[in-house]
Amino acid sequence: DTGVSQDPRHKITKRGQNVTFRCDPISEHNRLYWYRQTLGQGPEFLTYFQNEAQLEKSRLLSDRFSAERPKGSFSTLEIQRTEQGDSAMYLCASSVGLRDRTYEQYFGPGTRLTVT
């Protein structure tokens, strides 16, 4: 399978704990995006990377959230001191970048986070 993969698919954690999610993009894609989706809503942009550089970061990404893409391949999204409001689906997507005339983003299956 050469699509975008995310791990874990589901995470249940207690309030106050830290969690980390991983995203592996399609191998030749140099752009990687993180979104958050709550029930009944469209995905909300969190951040994106061009290779290893984090170029855009949403105001939604509070100080408790951090994302990395150290070698320009996989990315991690960490949430510290989780709160119940963090419960959502976290989606990762990748795209070819500036060379891609369609600008299509390919999404992974998501990580569903439940904070109890």
Partner 1 sequence: AQKITQTQPGMFVQEKEAVTLDCTYDTSDPSYGLFWYKQPSSGEMIFLIYQGSYDQQNATEGRYSLNFQKARKSANLVISASQLGDSAMYFCAMREGLGTSYDKVIFGPGTSLSVIP
Closer CB to partner 1, 33 or 65, in the complex: 33
Residue 43 in contact with partner 1, rule: CB under 8 A: yes
Binding residue (CB under 8 A) for partner 1 from 2, 27, 42, 59: 42
Residue 25 in contact with partner 1, rule: CB under 8 A: no
Tell me how far, at minimum, the Cβ of 50 lies from partner 1, in Å: 6
Sign of dihedral through CA atoms 79, 21, 51, 68?
A: positive
Q: How many C-beta atoms surround the C-beta of residue 115 within 10 A?
A: 19
Q: From its phi and psi, is residue 2 left (phi > 0), alpha (psi between -120 and 50) or beta?
A: alpha
Residue 67 in contact with partner 1, rule: CB under 8 A: no
Tell me how far, at minimum, the Cβ of 88 lies from partner 1, in Å: 12
By the criterion CB under 8 A, which residues form the site for partner 1?
A: 31, 33, 35, 40-45, 48, 50, 55-56, 58, 89, 91, 93, 98, 102-107, 109-110, 112
